[in-house]
């Protein structure tokens, strides 16, 4: 490891070393200790790191950040960041800490929601046995960083046979300058259960901040979990987000990633399909403007036979923005009868916008049905002219075409109020 890399790591960890976790139970301290050891052996990715080939993180690691040591009672108006007409349990995190005074959690049979900090301190059996088990610190530097330094987050448990009617909206807010926050979400869906989760990331000030978020999802037999991630941070904001999912027999996991804003956004999605009859859906919409950089990396690892995975990502890049899509599907030798589909489509609105698209299949079984594809293009001038000839303004014509372009990815969102919210956000961006 070079001196430069050591210096960057020291810079990033300097303020985080002030955090004190000495009062946590032993299992949590052991987890953090293992993460600290892992960090010593992990290097910051560079352009020579294949997994990070198109994304340079110098903008993140060359800066100095502060931290919040504990939850603050500062008053925050969260209404502008809620989703209109959505009836949901609201869980609010501010600067990396759970805020009970801003949250609205109603008791529902079969559902347990708590702050991760409380779950850890109370030695919640699920958290004690599962935290860090699939998002492993030794695998990736930013997972290790989060495991070492997470301050709080959300723990969600869904009981066997429970069908949770209300979605859960986790509102992850940053409201301080030059702040780094490490938050964590852990979810267990027991056998025959069903739940829908929304997690939105926003900042109240347009100043520099860095959010490093990790989520772990455990899907037991015949469970159904939909996770919707909405990234909408303005100003000089940076986010690295990692989702790890583990699926058992006949489970259904859907993740919708909607990136509306962010100076540099990196999404790492890793799904391990470890039983027959599973369904996995990964969908994404990413909008680029200015010099924004959005990088979506996905891995679906099929370990067992008779499973389906579908992946649809749509990018619209304006100005000098950059998009990256690298989706990889593994089909292991035992995963016969796998059906895997992967598609990435992009529209470049200017000559200066850039997309790097690399869908991949790695197949070790012979009785499978797998396909992937990628397209890059511009809006059709003839189609715009056709609409204008029928009395539609050019701006409206462009908006209509963009709406049609993202439709099949947006249709995968099953919560009507959220779908309308995303649609309006896209509409306002290009109108």
* Strands (E) located in 116-178: 152-158, 168-174
More confident residue, 351 or 68: 351
Q: What is the pLDDT of residue 227?
A: 98
pLDDT at 9 over 80: no
129-143 burial by CB neighbour count: b if 16+ within 10 A, else e? ebbbebbebeebbbb
pLDDT at 392 over 90: no
pLDDT at 4 over 60: no
pLDDT at 73 over 90: no
Q: What is the pTM of this model?
A: 0.95
Q: What is the pLDDT of residue 423?
A: 93
pLDDT tens for 119-176 read 999 999 999 999 999 999 998 999 999 999 999 999 999 999 999 999 999 999 998 8
- Residue 53 CA: distances (Å) to CA of 144, 358, 400: 20, 11, 34
pLDDT tens for 164-180 read 999 999 999 998 888 89
Q: What is the pLDDT of residue 331?
A: 97
Count of domains in the chain?
1
Which residue do the tokens 């600067």 mark?
Answer: 95
- The three-state secondary structure class of 371 is strand
Say how far apart CA 316 and CA 377 lie, in whole Å.
Answer: 10
For 52, phi then psi, to 5°, come to -120, 25
Say how far apart CA 32 and CA 148 lie, in whole Å.
Answer: 5
Q: What is the pLDDT of residue 65?
A: 83
For 159, phi then psi, to 5°, come to -70, 165
CA nearest to 318, candidates 290, 297, 358, 276: 290
CA nearest to 147, candidates 33, 307, 304, 275: 33
pLDDT at 116 over 60: yes
Residue ranges making up the domain that contains 215 = 3-429
Burial class (CB in 10 A: 0-12, 13-18, 19+), 178: middle
Q: What is the pLDDT of residue 5?
A: 52
- DSSP designation for 204: S
pLDDT tens for 342-360 read 999 999 999 999 999 999 9
End-to-end C-alpha distance for the chain, whole angstroms: 48
Q: What is the pLDDT of residue 176?
A: 82
Average pLDDT in the chain? 92
Q: Are 176 and 95 in contact (CB under 8 A)?
A: yes
pLDDT tens for 283-297 read 999 999 999 999 999
Question: What tokens does 308 get?
Answer: 């389906």
* Least-confidence region, from 13-17, 88-92, 392-396: 13-17
Say how far apart CA 173 and CA 211 lie, in whole Å.
Answer: 10
pLDDT at 2 over 60: no
């Amino acid at each position: 490891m070079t001196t430069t890399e050591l210096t960057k790591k020291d810079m990033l960890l300097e303020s985080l070393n002030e955090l004190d976790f000495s009062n946590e139970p032993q299992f949590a301290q052991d987890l953090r200790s293992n993460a600290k050891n892992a960090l010593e052996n992990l290097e910051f990715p560079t352009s020579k790191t294949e997994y990070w080939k198109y994304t340079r993180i110098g903008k993140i690691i060359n800066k100095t950040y502060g931290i919040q040591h504990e939850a603050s009672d500062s008053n925050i108006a969260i209404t502008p960041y809620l989703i209109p007409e959505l009836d949901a349990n609201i869980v609010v995190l501010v600067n990396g800490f759970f805020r009970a005074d801003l949250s609205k959690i109603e008791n529902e049979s079969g559902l347990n929601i708590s702050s991760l900090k409380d779950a850890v301190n109370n030695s919640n059996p699920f958290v004690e046995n599962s935290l860090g088990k699939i998002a492993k610190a030794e695998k990736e530097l930013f997972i290790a960083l989060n495991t070492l330094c997470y301050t709080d987050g959300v723990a969600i448990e869904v009981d066997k046979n429970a069908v949770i009617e209300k979605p859960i909206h986790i509102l992850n807010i940053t409201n301080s300058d030059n702040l780094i926050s490490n938050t964590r979400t852990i979810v267990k869906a027991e056998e025959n259960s069903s739940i829908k989760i929304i997690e939105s990331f926003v900042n109240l000030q347009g100043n520099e901040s860095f959010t490093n978020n990790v989520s772990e999802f455990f899907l037991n037999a015949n469970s159904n979990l939909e996770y919707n991630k909405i990234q909408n941070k303005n100003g000089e904001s940076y986010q690295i987000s990692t989702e790890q999912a583990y699926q058992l027999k006949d489970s259904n996991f859907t993740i919708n990633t909607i990136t509306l804003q962010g100076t540099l956004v990196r999404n790492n999605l890793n799904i391990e399909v470890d039983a027959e009859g599973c369904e996995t859906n990964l969908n994404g919409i990413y909008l680029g403007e200015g010099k924004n950089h959005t990088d979506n990396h996905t891995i679906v690892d099929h370990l067992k036979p008779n499973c389906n995975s579908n992946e649809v990502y749509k990018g619209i890049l304006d100005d000098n923005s950059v998009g990256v899509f690298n989706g990889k599907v593994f089909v292991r030798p035992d995963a016969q009868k796998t059906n895997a589909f992967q598609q990435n489509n992009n529209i470049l609105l200017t000559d200066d916008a850039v997309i790097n698209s690399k869908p991949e299949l790695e197949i070790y079984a012979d009785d499978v049905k797998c396909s992937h594809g990628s397209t890059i293009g511009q809006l059709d001038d003839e189609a715009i002219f056709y609409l204008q000839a029928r009395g539609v303004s050019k701006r409206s014509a462009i908006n209509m075409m963009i709406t049609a372009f993202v439709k099949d990815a947006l249709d995968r969102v099953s919560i009507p109020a959220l779908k309308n919210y995303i649609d309006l956000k896209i509409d306002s961006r290009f109108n």
